[in-house]
Amino acid sequence: MADVYTNPEKHVVLHNSVKMPILGLGTSHDGGYSHEAVVYALKICGYRHIDTAKRYGCETYIAEAVKASGVPREEIFLATKCWPTDYGTTATRDAFNGSCQRLASEYLDMYLLHWPDVPSRVKDKKQLLQDTWRTLEVLLDEERVRVIGISNFLEQHLEMIMEECSVIPHVNQCEFHPYNNPKKLRDYCTERNIQFEGYCPLANGQILNEPKIQEIAGIHGKSPAQVLIRWNLQKRVVCIPKSTKEHRVRENSEVYDFVLTKEDMAVLDSLPQKLTIMNPSAIQAKIDNPLPDGYKLTFVKTPVEP
Ligand SMILES: NC(=O)c1ccc[n+]([C@@H]2O[C@H](COP(=O)([O-])OP(=O)(O)OC[C@H]3O[C@@H](n4cnc5c(N)ncnc54)[C@H](OP(=O)(O)O)[C@@H]3O)[C@@H](O)[C@H]2O)c1
C-alpha cells in the first residue's frame, strides 16, 4: 500500500479524524476522460484519492478504472458531488445512491454539495440548502459516507449551513491557484476547522507560462506544474490536478522530493489575482439548463465499456 495514510506529509486529518490524502487525481467532463490515466495513477503512481462529480458523467468509468487498477477499494479516498438540481431531502439521498451505484461502492469517502446556487424556481434557498445539508448529516450518521462538505461556498453560504447544522462541513473545495488565492475564505475555513481543498491547481494549464513560476521551477529542477502542486501542499491545501496523460499524472505525483523556500512561497503568494476559471455567475444558467450530466464528456484513448 502506498504510504499516503502513514506519512503525515501525504494526508490531512479532518475534524472527525478521517485521513484525507492531500494529493488527489481530478476528473471531469472538461478536457476529456482517460481510463488509462486513472488506472496508471492508482496502480503505478500511488494516488489514493480521486475527485469526481455526478455532473461530470464519468462515475461509471471511474468504477471500471478502480477495478482494473487492482487497488483495494478501501485504500482509495473516493469523492463525488451532488449537483444542485438534486438538492432536497429525498432527491439528495437518491442522488447519493445513484453515485454509489455508478461508482460500484456501498459507501463514499466524501460527498460534497457542488455549488451554493439552487434552481431559480426555488423560493427558499436557505431552507433547501439546510435540508440538503441535513441529508448529508444523516448519511454520515448512517456510515454511508465518511466525510461531508461543500464546494464553491463563500463565507455567506457557509453561514447559512452553519446556522442550523449539527456537523460543521469537513471540507470546502474551491478554485485555488496563485492567480486566484482567496486568503480570507481560507482563513475563515481554517478558523472553523474546515479543510480547504483547491481545484484547478494548474489554472487549467493557463498559469504554467507565468515567468515567476518558470523561474522557481528552473531553480529546483522541477516543472511549473510540480511547483504549483508543491505550493498547495506546503499550505496544507488538498490538491487535485487533472491530467489525461500518463506522463503528466506521474509528473504531478513527484512532488515530495523538493521544498519551496519561504521566498519562493512569498513570490507565488504575491502574483496578481487575475484569473477565475470557474465563473460563478455562469453556473445559474447551467443549473437551470436541462443539459444532461456529462454532456461535455469526451474520451481520450479507448475507455473500458461499463
Ligand atoms: N468543485 C468544482 O466546482 C470544480 C470545478 C473545476 C474542477 N474541479 C476538480 O478539480 C480538478 C482539476 O481541475 P481542472 O481539471 O479544471 O484543472 P487543472 O488540474 O488545474 O488543469 C488541468 C489541465 O492542465 C493540463 N495538465 C495537467 N498536468 C499538467 C502538467 N504536468 N503539465 C502541463 N499541463 C498539465 C491538463 O491537460 P492534459 O489532460 O492534456 O494533461 C488539463 O488541461 C478537476 O478535474 C475536478 O476534479 C472541481
Q: Quote the Cα angle for 40-304-96, to 5°.
A: 90
Residue 302: band (very low, low, confident or very high) from pLDDT cuts 50, 70, 90: low
Ligand 1 atom nearest residue 151's Cα: 1
Q: Which domain holds residue 171?
A: 10-203+237-243
For residues 137-143, give the mean pLDDT: 98
Residue 187, domain CATH: 3.20.20.100
249 CA distance to ligand 1 middle (Å):
11
The reply, when asked if residue 35 is annotated as ligand binding, is no
Flag whether 84 is in a domain. Answer: yes
Residue 119: band (very low, low, confident or very high) from pLDDT cuts 50, 70, 90: very high
Give the helix/strand (H/E) hosting 148. strand 145-151
Residues in the chain: 306
Angstrom distance (rounded) from CA 228 to CA 4: 20
- Supply the pLDDT for residue 84: 98
Flag whether 179 is in a domain. Answer: yes
289 CA distance to ligand 1 middle (Å):
24
Region of 88 on the Ramachandran plot (φ > 0 left; ψ -120 to 50 alpha; else beta): left
Hey, which of 58, 200, 279 would you mutate to test ligand 1's pocket, going by the most ligand atoms within 8 Å of its Cβ? Answer: 200
Kindly give, in sequence order, each residue whose CB lies less than 8 Å from that of residue 306, ignoring residues fewer than 6 positions away: 60, 61, 63, 64
The pocket around ligand 1, CB under 6 angstroms, is made up of 26-28, 30-31, 51, 114, 151-152, 173, 199-205, 208, 223, 225, 240-245, 248, 251-252, 278
> Atom 16 of ligand 1 has which residue's CA nearest to it?
200
- Supply the pLDDT for residue 148: 99
pLDDT in tens, 51-65: 999 999 999 999 999
Flag whether 226 is in a domain. Answer: no
**240 in Cβ contact with 225 (< 8 Å):** no
Flag whether 138 is in a domain. Answer: yes
Would you call 56 a catalytic residue per the annotation? yes
Ligand 1 atom nearest residue 245's Cα: 41
Here the cell at position 62 is 471511474
247 CA distance to ligand 1 middle (Å):
14
Flag whether 140 is in a domain. Answer: yes
Hey, which of 199, 279, 297 would you mutate to test ligand 1's pocket, going by the most ligand atoms within 8 Å of its Cβ? Answer: 199
β-pairing verdict for 49-51 and 11-13: unpaired
> Cα 258 to the chain's mean position, in Å?
24
> Atom 8 of ligand 1 has which residue's CA nearest to it?
199
> Atom 32 of ligand 1 has which residue's CA nearest to it?
225
Angstrom distance (rounded) from CA 170 to CA 115: 16
pLDDT in tens, 162-215: 999 999 999 999 999 999 999 999 999 999 999 999 999 999 999 999 999 999
161 CA distance to ligand 1 middle (Å):
28
Give the helix/strand (H/E) hosting 211. helix 211-220
31 CA distance to ligand 1 middle (Å):
8
pLDDT in tens, 212-236: 999 999 999 999 999 999 999 999 9
Flag whether 162 is in a domain. Answer: yes
**189 in Cβ contact with 196 (< 8 Å):** yes
> Atom 15 of ligand 1 has which residue's CA nearest to it?
242
- Give yes or no for residue 73 having a pLDDT over 80: yes
- Supply the pLDDT for residue 290: 75
**160 in Cβ contact with 130 (< 8 Å):** yes
Average pLDDT along the chain: 96
102 CA distance to ligand 1 middle (Å):
22
> Atom 25 of ligand 1 has which residue's CA nearest to it?
205
Flag whether 267 is in a domain. Answer: no
pLDDT in tens, 97-111: 999 999 999 999 999
Q: Quote the Cα angle for 150-289-198, to 5°.
A: 25
Strands (E) across the chain are located at 11-13, 19-21, 25-26, 49-51, 77-82, 108-113, 145-151, 171-175, 195-199, 238-239
pLDDT in tens, 36-49: 999 999 999 999 99
Angstrom distance (rounded) from CA 76 to CA 95: 21
Total domains, the chain: 1
Flag whether 95 is in a domain. Answer: yes
Angstrom distance (rounded) from CA 232 to CA 228: 7
Kindly give, in sequence order, each residue whose CB lies less than 8 Å from that of residue 97, ignoring residues fewer than 6 positions away: none
- Give yes or no for residue 306 having a pLDDT over 90: no
Q: Which of 33, 40, 47, 56 is flagged as catalytic?
A: 56
**58 in Cβ contact with 244 (< 8 Å):** no
